[in-house]
Chains A and B, each alone.
Chain A
């Protein structure tokens, strides 16, 4: 019996040692590819085009990491994950980082043992109704039928909100987003409730978008961010500071176009630090000093990423809102790189 326990202990110790010794950064660099978990398809966040090239907010973040770590924004394998498989895929090491419109919550951070790298999109649950309903506030929704996706936090938020303001509603649970749209258009429900970004992109795909309005009430906080496994602080730091570098780049006016020129000429010491001219921040991360410059050159700063994927020039046409820089009334605040 004792020997059995001893053998089991030794095995477990060897296994965990094997796990701990190989850092994610080293793994990624040996492999030469970053495995990035994304959604199988969500407009503006990640979707493949006709040539199989992935585009979107989350996709661009992964490309920035790949540019920083592997010096090649295309050295990414995008692994489509579903709502059910995403956390296991990350925990089991199938992906190195998960950028899949995942809400940063206490239980995911603490209980599931992940580290969130920050927030790359502040979202919140909202309502969309046809204009013909003549409603301007969620408080008028008494007795409405509401289409919601099953198995999401949406359902719980909705129940809590309507209980709080004390009105009755009838939920119509639907399996996926496309079916929600079909039901709504077919008149099977009066209201769709989902994340604001999702509603905006859904509305943009309608035949007559102007016939539908998104109600002003935002009933939940959905800070979406990339996450990594807990316990590999170096890798978590790379994920966190790459995101911060993208936001800081916008604050400092560094764009994909001028990153190279600024690196040589900038007088602003903040820009110098970001682009690796003065300090040796990159080496502290275990990378080289031009990591952030490569990330910004590859995908642009946070504002550019937003505009390209979700902004007013895209069919989704989302306003920056909460995702503006803190200097413009939003919540995006780049932590100081120094």
Chain B
């Protein structure tokens, strides 16, 4: 055996040779992607024709848009027989589509609540913000309630104090057992809300009247209503869904049975049935004279509905975790809640993100179903606007506007979920380049 005689070693890199003729470039891309065989060519031609036909049909209609008109007949006069969109209806009614019958002078209140919503969401949605900002997120629901419905500031304050009472009782009684402490906390908070709150609100309002003009639920409508129902439904259904998913996998038969029954019952019933129950049946069951706010009833029903779906989405995430993760958490000496909080849920929720956001988007769009129980969501308002003799006969413009606004919200949620998936990706899965 003798060593090879290395007589020549290449020192420089070979210059790339030009690609063979006919490869790369625009023409090649077109040939590969659009005209790759006769089926592909046929489909390409058909698609181009369909798109061209669609554009030709819609372009003159959009191109002739009329923005300055007070009624459909005025639009038609301006257009003089030509096809054209009559956006005058949006110009005339956009505030109504956004706010319903909310008093015009008070529009700043829901708008402020909407802007603050993002401030409250930011520390939850994005990293890199100080933990202290979460305090604002906790205060936000009460603040938004006060801004939108008005009345005395002391009502939401007193409701928050109920939570403080519950926490206090819990921490006092926790030494004699978690179950007892939880019961004491719940009973204490309920008693506080039932008996202390009305008196406290009255006294506090008399001594320090911090009041906003009250607005009734009937005056809420349009996208304001959709967002109120959608956001509260989303915010409440996630924690409830997590609890239900854990309950369904719990080792305690009673809790498991209750969770399974709840989830299967709610999933087996259409949302519209629950809404009818909220709006009609409850009126018969509740003692006469109780005025239990319709929007609150709807929010509760929508939340219950969404949480059942959420629970199943999250259960899917839990099921995807290998058993070793549970065992490892146990081996570290973590108790049930610590194991869930530190090991299981962070992974399970990460897996479930697409499903969770899917449910959120579905829930937000489902809020339009409230039109069937007589609440004026954007779709119901469109019907009401059409019933005005000025705008009777208008159709597409209203739906296009409503669709566009819904798209902005849903697309935003979808993009955020993709950002979140990117951010949380810690493994090295192979993925298609997006």
Taking Cβ atoms with an 8 Å cutoff, the residues of A that contact B are: 15, 18-19, 22, 39-44, 46-52, 55, 77, 79-82, 84-85, 88-89, 92-94, 176, 178, 181-182, 201-202, 204-207, 314-316
Contacts and interface: CB of A to CB of B under 8 A. Distances in A.
Given A18-B288, A50-B96, A178 B395 contact: yes
Contact of B387 (A46, A77, A206, A314): A46
Per DSSP, chain B at the interface is helix
When A and B form their complex, which 7 residue pairs have the shortest distance between CB atoms, in order from nearest? Answer: A205-B393, A41-B387, A92-B283, A41-B384, A47-B387, A205-B392, A52-B101
B226 to A, nearest CB: 16
Interface bracket on B: 35 or more
A48 B96 contact: yes
B380 A80 contact: yes
A85 B373 CA distance: 6
B383 A79 contact: no
Interface string B59-102: 00000000000001100100000000000000011001000110
B365 interface: no
Contact of B218 (A15, A77, A201): A77
Interface in B353-396: 371-376, 380, 383-389, 392-393, 395
Instruction: Give the one of A18, A52, A89 with max B CB within 10 A.
Output: A52
B376 A80 contact: yes
B271 to A, nearest CB: 15
B374 A15 contact: no
A225 to B, nearest CB: 20
B283 A52 contact: no
A315 B73 contact: yes
A207 B76 contact: yes
A51 B385 CA distance: 11
Interface in B261-298: 276, 279-280, 283-284, 287-289
A178 B92 CA distance: 20
Interface string B208-232: 0000000010110000000000000
B283 A94 contact: yes
B374 A41 contact: no
Interface string B379-420: 010011111110011010000000000000000000000000
A41 B101 contact: no
B59 to A, nearest CB: 20
B288 A81 contact: no
Contact of A178 (B96, B100, B287, B386): B386
Given A15-B287, A19-B288, A49 B388 contact: yes
Given A85-B374, A202-B392, A316-B389, 12 more contacts: A44-B389, A48-B96, A51-B104, A52-B96, A80-B375, A84-B276, A84-B372, A85-B276, A85-B279, A178-B395, A181-B393, A315-B392
Contacts of A47: 384-385, 387-389
Instruction: Give the one of B73, B280, B287 with max A CB within 10 A.
Output: B280
Given A19-B288, A94-B283, A81 B374 contact: yes
13 contacts: A15-B287, A15-B288, A40-B387, A41-B386, A52-B96, A52-B101, A85-B280, A88-B283, A92-B283, A178-B395, A181-B393, A204-B392, A207-B76
Nearest to B95: A50
A40 B383 contact: yes
Contacts of B289: 18, 22
A155 B383 CA distance: 22
Given A43-B392, A50-B92, A316-B389, A205 B72 contact: yes
Contacts of A55: 388
Nearest to A52: B101
Contacts of B216: 77
A51 B95 CA distance: 9
B280 A43 contact: no
Contacts of B92: 50
Nearest to B287: A15
A93 B287 CA distance: 11
Contacts of B372: 82, 84-85
A89 B388 contact: no
A94 B365 CA distance: 27
Contacts of A39: 387
A48 B101 contact: yes
A42 B288 contact: no
A48 B288 contact: no
A176 B383 contact: yes
Nearest to B71: A315
